Amino acid sequence: MIHYLSEGSGNTTLVLLHGFCENNTCLKRQVLFFKDHCKVIVPDLPGFGKSDVIGESTMESMADEVYEVLLHENVSECIMIGHSMGGYVTLAFAEKYSRLLKGFGLLHSTANPDTDERLEKRKQVISFIETNGLHPYLQNFIPTLFSKTAHKVEVDFIISEAMKGPKEGIIEAIRAMMKRPDRKGVLKEVSVPVLFVAGEYDQLVPSSDLFLQASMCKVSHIVYLNNAAHMGMIEDPENLNKELQKFIDLCA
């Protein structure tokens, strides 16, 4: 079973899934905020943090690993929020285990599959890492997730955490993201509320895409962070946490 952190207690279980090149420490501000009135479960997805690489990963296999954690914790229903790649896993979970969800959210994430251009870039990243190692890639990639150079401390921390895991974990995750299908159909089918969080300066997930996807849902809650790019949980945690609380109340 993958490694995970469980903090707090309460009638609501909140599951937070980190993104690519991250681990559960990226969500520590949300854990601290919600643990006083929620049970907060924050896994390290396969190949990241303290979790081992599990062969040929897919979004579905990662969702299965999260499901095993919830079984172990005797969780019968939860609210799941996934950041970036964690959002892809959340959508796979919603497709397979919808009965466990009171609501779910995409934090700087999307139901769209990779475009041809994005697929080609991911192939180039794999080649770069295999040739040059992980650290040069992280030094180039992680800063682009933030809107301001003022976040150097956080950038350095994320890089240092990512370097603790094997490069194979990063490469397997890239391949898994390349294989993920279009899951807008999930958004159209679910009856539970769906959260969409967009960042004004996000270069990876255009807000226009999220607004369109939100319109497909029966119930949606949209959050637009004016002071964030792709890392709203770090760049604007106060506003994000307030909006997450509103969403939890909506799901309840």
Q: What is the pTM of this model?
A: 0.97
Residue-wise pLDDT for 23-77, tens only, equals 999 999 999 999 999 999 999 999 999 999 988 899 999 999 999 999 999 999 9
Q: What b-and-e string marks burial along 222-234, b requiring 16 or more CB atoms within 10 Å of the CB? A: bbbbeebbbbbbb
Please give the angle made by the CA atoms of 103, 106 and 110, to the nearest 5 degrees: 130
- Residue spans of beta strands (DSSP E) within the chain: 4-7, 13-17, 39-43, 78-83, 101-107, 194-199, 220-225
**For the chain, give me the number of helices (H) and strands (E)?**
11, 7
Other beta carbons within 10 angstroms of residue 39's beta carbon come to: 19
Encoding tokens for residue 81? 């929020």
Task: State the pLDDT at residue 149.
Answer: 72
Q: Report d(CA 81, CA 101) in Å as an integer.
A: 11
Residue ranges for the chain with pLDDT beneath 50: none
CATH class of residue range 4-251:
alpha beta
Task: State the pLDDT at residue 252.
Answer: 87
Q: Report d(CA 5, CA 163) in Å as an integer.
A: 20
Task: State the pLDDT at residue 229.
Answer: 96
How does DSSP assign 147-166, residue by residue? S-GGGHHHHHHHHHHHTTS-
